[in-house]
Amino acid sequence: MQTNIQQKSITILRLIDVMIRTGLPKSSVYEKVKNQEITPPIAIGLRRVGWPSFEIDAINRALIAGLDSTEIKKLVAKLTEQRKKITGAC
């Protein structure tokens, strides 16, 4: 699965938007983050976090395509690594 990040604005999804897009309750979203099946949130304020929409969309496409848990975890690792390269984070 190929993920492309273009040089344009990135939409940040708040937790409620992630819940709507994935159909998961809050506890399941964070459980999937813990299990590395969803990318970790990014800080967007002192007490606010969000997820880049393209990451959630890529994970949803992978699930629809029938990827298993191991493949989803590889995708999440790849997306997380890509995020580090984009932001210059360690």
16 within domain boundaries: yes
Residue 8 has which token pair? 């344009």
7 within domain boundaries: no
Q: Which domain holds residue 48?
A: 12-87
4 within domain boundaries: no
The total domain count for the chain is: 1
pLDDT digit string, tens, across residues 29-39: 999 999 999 99
62 within domain boundaries: yes
78 within domain boundaries: yes
Among positive and negative, which fits the CA dihedral 73, 84, 17, 15? positive
The domain that contains 56 carries what CATH number? 1.10.1660
Which pLDDT score is estimated for 90? 52
> In degrees rounded to 5, what are phi and psi of residue 35?
-85, 5
- Name every residue whose Cβ is closer than 8 Å to that of residue 56 and which is 6 or more positions away in sequence: 13, 18, 21, 22, 38, 39
Residues of the chain short of pLDDT 50, as ranges, are: none
5 within domain boundaries: no
Name the residue among 83, 34, 42, 79 with its Cα closest to residue 60. Answer: 79
